[in-house]
Structure 1
Amino acid sequence: MKRIFTVCTILFGLLSFGQEAGKAGELLKNEASKREMESSAIQKENSRNDNLGNSGFRNSNNQNNRNKRPTNPNYQWNNNYGYAEVFLRIPEQGSFSVELADQLISNNSGKYRFFDLPSGRIPISIYENGFLLYRTTLNVRNNSRLVLDFFTNEGLYLLDSYSLQNGYYGFNNWNDVWNNPYGNSGNSGIINYPNVMDNQSFREFMSRMKKDAWFDDKKIIFINQQGRHAMFTSEQISILVKDLSFDKNKIALAKSLFSKCVDKQKYFVVGDALDFESSRRDLMDFISKN
């Protein structure tokens, strides 16, 4: 009897702390009208495919248009319109399609990952079996990734926004992207970054610096040398900044190490290592522009 009670308690605890629709994130308002939701998106897809033959290639009528292309087309090489990503999860069984900007993804995996997106306000539409369920607008920032969950009975939730850092994703597996906002993963979000200093290595590094470098200028040189081969967490950078004597050196180091930080979303903790409020504002202004 005692064993049964223990098992029930554990199961109840798992259910209590499990993911739940509407438990995490910011609800994004559904902007789709009732009329739009009653019309099938299949019609839209058919209009896109009117010029496609059974083989998947364009039909003979449009094949002749190839000869009408300009001799010297105006190519756009390395067109820089910004880069952003959007990751959307639909944890329900069903046939869903997600349209974002000029990209459309349909699958049964429940994971929709959009890359190479421009920055700015981008409309997103979610369909089930060809019918529109939800439509809203995302505010996508350059060099950032939005993470969202969609529940048919609850709506679309923006879980978090992350800065993209040198192409590294910083999680053990793709599920961690969605699980972390619910607090269901033990992954700190930084252990997959290459060359990030572990706690033991960082303590050894600090001990050596205190032994070999007495003044701010020597400490900064010591830190920059290590920074050529290693990445730091925001907590580690806060400790390094706080160890300096003069605030002007602290703010300079805090700015220079921002590019070496693996968890920029927590960089606000570095501001606590600065002595003056004006310096903290200066750092926040710097972060907002980078």
Structure 2
Amino acid sequence: MKRISTVCAIFSGLLFFAQEAGKAGELLKNEASKREMESSKIERLNSQNNNSGNSGFRNPTNQNNQNKRHANTNYQWNQNYGYAEVFLRIPEQGHFSVELADQMIATHSGRYRFFDLPSGRIPISIYDNGFLVYRTTLNVRNNSRMVLDFFTNEGLYLLDSYPIQNDYYGFNNWNDVWNNPYANSGNNGNINYPNVMDHQTFQQFMSAMKKDAWFDDKKIAFINQQGRHAMFTSEQISILVKDLSFDKNKIALAKSLFSKCVDKQKYFIVGDALDFESSRRDLMDYISKN
């Protein structure tokens, strides 16, 4: 009984560590000034309304025009703003609201999901009880979903960015999109990532590649063609890289598939598929810059 209790205590500790603030993702710099953070949101908005400037998004406000209502027949049909999504989680208790581009969400669930965002550099502001506590700028890519975690004492962390394909969310449980970067998806090791082949499908893919492609250049072309419609795990990429004959082709493929990897925190596995230590260092250097 004592041994079972000890094992349970260790397991609980591992789960706690897996979700510990600041243990996953890239910390994004807080760009909010001390003065802004000491002013409530209402005071800040009142100050903005007294100025003639606007945010540069689709719905600019101007106090001089607020009382003028007239028909606007300058319609814009099928204007392409791009499409992107941003998912932000705030796991702590509090009255938080988040402003992103021209959207504002206030919820007690701790999950803030923004859809129909334009691509490009977009400011994000986080408020606690109406007071600005964090502001930074996100570099949002078209047809992508950016996933973030925010901790008051730690900051805003970019966990990962996934491509959006065929309007498919890419997960069965809303929590998985945040928990996966912590290696704590709770799905008992089953693949639950967007557009990733299961084990059987991947084996079929490998068999088809070896049947139709004998040389490295043909194999790389075959892999890249599949990569247009699928994502890979680190383990799958390692197998694909190891199957090539020449190390220069292996390092090239390892670099090109990094953006298609769903568990980048395990990409060190791919380094083991390279023949030379210099190639492994080259890959790690590439990863550190991307």
TM-score category (smaller protein): 0.5 to 0.7
Equivalence for 1:162: 161
Aligned mates of 2:108, 2:244 — CA distance in 1 = 54
Counterpart of 1:13 (choices 11, 14, 20) is 11
8 Å CA contact retained: 1:88, 1:112: yes
Letter in 2 for 1:141: R
8 Å CA contact retained: 2:123, 2:138: yes
8 Å CA contact retained: 2:146, 2:162: no
Letter in 1 for 2:78: W
8 Å CA contact retained: 2:92, 2:151: yes
Aligned mates of 1:45, 1:36 — CA distance in 2 = 11
CA distance 1:216–1:164, change in 2 (3 Å) = same
Equivalence for 2:58: none
CA distance 1:251–1:168, change in 2 (3 Å) = farther
What aligned pairs does 1:35-184 form with structure 2 within 5 A after superposition?
35-44=35-44, 65-67=69-71, 69=72, 71=73, 73-80=74-81, 82-152=82-152, 154-166=153-165, 167-184=167-184
8 Å CA contact retained: 1:171, 1:190: no
Helix, strand or coil at the partner of 2:69: helix
CA offsets per residue over residues 200-257 of structure 1, 9 Å max, x none?
Answer: 34435645775x658559x87xx69x96xx85635556656765779999999x79x9
Kindly indicate whether residue 27 of structure 2 is the aligned counterpart of residue 27 of structure 1.
yes
Aligned mates of 1:20, 1:245 — CA distance in 2 = 41
8 Å CA contact retained: 1:120, 1:141: yes
8 Å CA contact retained: 2:120, 2:140: yes
8 Å CA contact retained: 1:87, 1:114: yes
Helix, strand or coil at the partner of 2:135: strand
CA RMSD of aligned residues (A): 4.8
In the comparison of the two structures, how many residue pairs are matched?
A: 259
Larger CA deviation: 237-246 vs 88-97 = 237-246
8 Å CA contact retained: 2:39, 2:132: yes
Aligned mates of 1:75, 1:204 — CA distance in 2 = 48
Using structure 2 for the length normalisation, give the TM-score: 0.64
Using structure 1 for the length normalisation, give the TM-score: 0.64
Larger CA deviation: 39-48 vs 102-111 = 39-48
Equivalence for 2:61: none
Displacement of 1:40 in angstroms is 1.4
Displacement of 1:141 in angstroms is 3.0
Gaps in structure 2 of 5+ consecutive residues: 50-64
CA offsets per residue over residues 132-185 of structure 1, 9 Å max, x none?
Answer: 122222233333332222222x23232422231413333331211221222222
Larger Rg: 1
CA distance 1:274–1:65, change in 2 (3 Å) = farther
Aligned mates of 1:100, 1:121 — CA distance in 2 = 11
Aligned mates of 1:240, 1:23 — CA distance in 2 = 29
Percent sequence identity over aligned pairs: 59
Helix, strand or coil at the partner of 2:87: strand
CA distance 1:14–1:159, change in 2 (3 Å) = farther
